[in-house]
Structure 1
Amino acid sequence: MATSSDPQADIDPDDWFSRVEAVVESIPPGRVMTYGGVAAALGSRSSRGVGRVMAHAGAGLPWWRVVRASGHAPSGHEQRALEEYRVEGTPLRWSRAGAFRVDLEAAVWRG
């Protein structure tokens, strides 16, 4: 068996998708995980692999609960995510310019 530096290389893609989906579905309302946090929960470092799953299957998942390492909402979906964060009471931080990000210290889920 060949070895690879990519921890995801030996994971069946269908299984990887279902495993990512299960972790994302387990994040409670008002809490978030980073892409890297989801990967780590699966014993991987492939945050990009998590991003690929979210790009393909995210519409059926609570996608707003998976954020960038900075706490920012998924790129291009900030306004819709903000609506969800407000409904769920997700802790946010605001800049003087009016930009927001999730307060990771208060909201991160380590399920």
Structure 2
Amino acid sequence: MSTDIVAEVRAEVAAIPAGSVASYGAIAERIGTSPRQVGRAMSLLDEGVPWWRVVHADGTPATCHQGQAPRLLADEGIPMRGTRVDMRRARHRREGPVPPSS
């Protein structure tokens, strides 16, 4: 995995404010890769990155980290619909230029 992709994913995830989420696909589209590659890059990030703010397109939280994502999302007041994030209300719409793809 390219260290550039990991760095780009780290920057995108770090830019998601508390109370918002982004999908793997939205991050992938923004940096010019696949959602699967975003997931792989996410597994290489350090604990200081708010990984729980990245969810599946249908709002399903990540299952890694012993299933802590739903609790962390709730702690931030992220709106849920049952066990999924209410993507219509919680989706982060990143502003600014799209980084150049490699």
Shorter-chain TM-score: which interval?
0.7 to 0.9
Unpaired runs of at least 5, structure 1: 1-11, 95-99
Bigger-Rg structure (1/2): 1
Deviations 1:10-35 (A, max 9, x none): xx811111111000000000100000
Query: Percent of counterpart pairs with the same letter?
Result: 39
Name the residue aligned to 1:27.
Answer: 16
Q: How does the TM-score come out when normalised to structure 2?
A: 0.83
Unpaired runs of at least 5, structure 2: 95-102
**Aligned-pair CA distance for 1:36:** 0.5
> How far apart are the structure 2 equivalents of 1:72 and 1:79?
12
Distance 1:88 1:24, change over 3 A: same
SS at match of 2:44: helix
> How far apart are the structure 1 equivalents of 2:46 and 2:25?
16
Q: Which structure would you say has the larger RCO, counting Cα contacts within 8 Å and 6 or more residues apart? A: 2
Q: How does the TM-score come out when normalised to structure 1?
A: 0.77
Runs of 4+ in structure 1 over 2 Å off:
75-79
> How far apart are the structure 2 equivalents of 1:78 and 1:70?
20
